[in-house]
Chains A and B, each alone.
Chain A
Amino acid sequence: MKGATIPEDSEIIQLFHELSTRELAYSYLLQKYQQKLYWHIRRFVVRHEDADDVLQNTCIKIWENLMRFRSDSRLYTWLFRIATNEALQFVQKQRAGLHISMDAFQEEHEMPLHADSYFDGNRAERTLQEAILGLPDKQKLVFHLRYFEQMSYEEISEVCGTSEGALKASYHHAVQKIEKYLQRSLNQFLRPESNL
């Protein structure tokens, strides 16, 4: 399979509709999108093990529902919608299970960011991740899709079901908050004695 040309989305869907080529179509789909979906999920749930669980659920749902996929939206925005819903659901359950406030939840997620051996980012990258973790869910989602996935607002609208105007506002707020956080961190880094 490795090195083979992966067909277009429409072709993958056609192959999936045939019983004999369903698994082949699914393997193409995984090959094409699993990494993107994994990183999208991981940005929400932070831990690799959690991302692995959520990605598994996402992929099973894709398998179960791809037959019913209507071509009124793009395949990859449909896949991202499933992954987003799964990740949000996971985070909500985790939050409810922990019975903690948003701030405490954020701290809870920042800890593995520092301890995670898989996270090979430098200090700036880590600070950016911390800033993103502090955002409310909607702003975080819009920022992830716009900044990391480089989706257009139209595509994000297909994933979130929110108007483009509202998405632009959310992204703007997210960027402002991140800038403020980075500025504060930079000041702390440059003048650590002022915090004493």
Chain B
Amino acid sequence: MKTVYNSDNKRDMKTNEMKQPDMESYFTDFSARMLQRVQSLPASTFVSTENQFPQFDTNDQFVGFSSSSESTKRSFPFLFQRIASMAALFIIAFFIAFQQFHPYTKVANENEEMLNQIAVSDLESSFYLNENTLTNDADTHAEWINELMDPINDIQPNTGL
């Protein structure tokens, strides 16, 4: 049983003969069919693929589409953009690493640590002072005032004029 197109472009299942299709009439019918079809088409029926390029795997088998062609991927602006973005990333990573491991940064970190320790000891001493201030022990209080006044007492009056 052979399937052929008759003049109405319908599949004719009744013939058993080895017929070659009449391609000329097929194409004439096809044109008429398409012209009729596009007249009744809604706004957009299909997903557009006209600006897409086929993508192939390493075995040259089709895997899907991409909006950028392989030649675009090899073009100078595309490569330049890629190289520039990679260079920018490298510079940022280098800058961060430089900051972290530079000797000045190490010294600064050590200084900061030292300052923190001083701050903690200051806090402890101020707590001690406050505690002393609050006591009613007159001797301790006086001793503390003296201690505070010592640097002031050491200042010599300016006798310049």
Contact = CB atoms under 8 A, between A and B. Distances in A.
Given A27-B35, A102-B61, A163-B70, A64 B19 contact: no
A60 interface: yes
Q: Is the interface of B mostly helix, strand, loop or mixed?
A: mixed
A131 interface: no
Interface of A: 23, 26-27, 30-31, 34-35, 38, 48-49, 52, 55-57, 59-61, 63-65, 68-69, 78, 81-82, 84-86, 88-89, 91-92, 102, 117-118, 120, 136-139, 141, 157, 160-163, 166, 170
Given A85-B54, A92-B62, A117-B19, A64 B45 contact: yes
Contacts of B53: 81, 160-162
A63 B41 contact: yes
A162 B61 contact: no
**Which interface class (under 10, 10 to 19, 20 to 34, 35 or more) fits B?**
35 or more
B159 interface: no
Interface of B: 2-4, 11, 18-21, 23, 27, 30-31, 33-35, 37-39, 41, 44-46, 48-50, 52-54, 56, 59-62, 64-66, 68-72, 74
Q: Is the interface of A mostly helix, strand, loop or mixed?
A: helix
12 contacts: A23-B39, A26-B35, A60-B37, A60-B38, A63-B41, A64-B45, A81-B53, A136-B60, A138-B54, A141-B54, A161-B53, A161-B71
